[in-house]
């Protein structure tokens, strides 16, 4: 079996759909502090999703 050398093993970069991002944020499985925007498009999508998520939350 081949070994893959990893320089930064504690981070990954993934692409997920906006629907999945919304679901993860709404369910509390992902927190905004866990996200880092890698480009302007990602920043726009995450900010829009965070704003929409915060307005859809139930207030007790």
Predicted confidence (pLDDT) at residue 3 exceeds the cutoff of 80: no
Residue 39 lies in a domain: yes
Domain tally, the chain: 1
How do residues 5-50 score in pLDDT, each as one tens digit? 666 677 788 889 999 998 998 898 988 888 888 889 988 988 898 8
Q: Which domain holds residue 35?
A: 19-54
What backbone phi and psi angles, to 5 degrees, belong to 52?
Answer: -65, -40
Give the per-residue pLDDT at 7: 67
Residue 12 lies in a domain: no
Nearest to 21 by CA among 54, 58, 51, 50: 50
Taking the complete model, does pTM exceed 0.85, yes or no? no
Residue 14 lies in a domain: no
Residue 45 lies in a domain: yes
């Amino acid at each position: 079996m081949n070994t893959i050398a990893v320089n930064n093993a504690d981070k990954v970069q993934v692409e997920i759909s906006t629907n999945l991002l919304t679901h993860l944020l709404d369910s509390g499985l992902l927190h905004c502090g866990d996200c880092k925007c890698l480009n302007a498009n990602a920043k726009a999508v995450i900010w829009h999703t965070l704003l929409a998520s915060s307005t859809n939350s139930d207030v007790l």
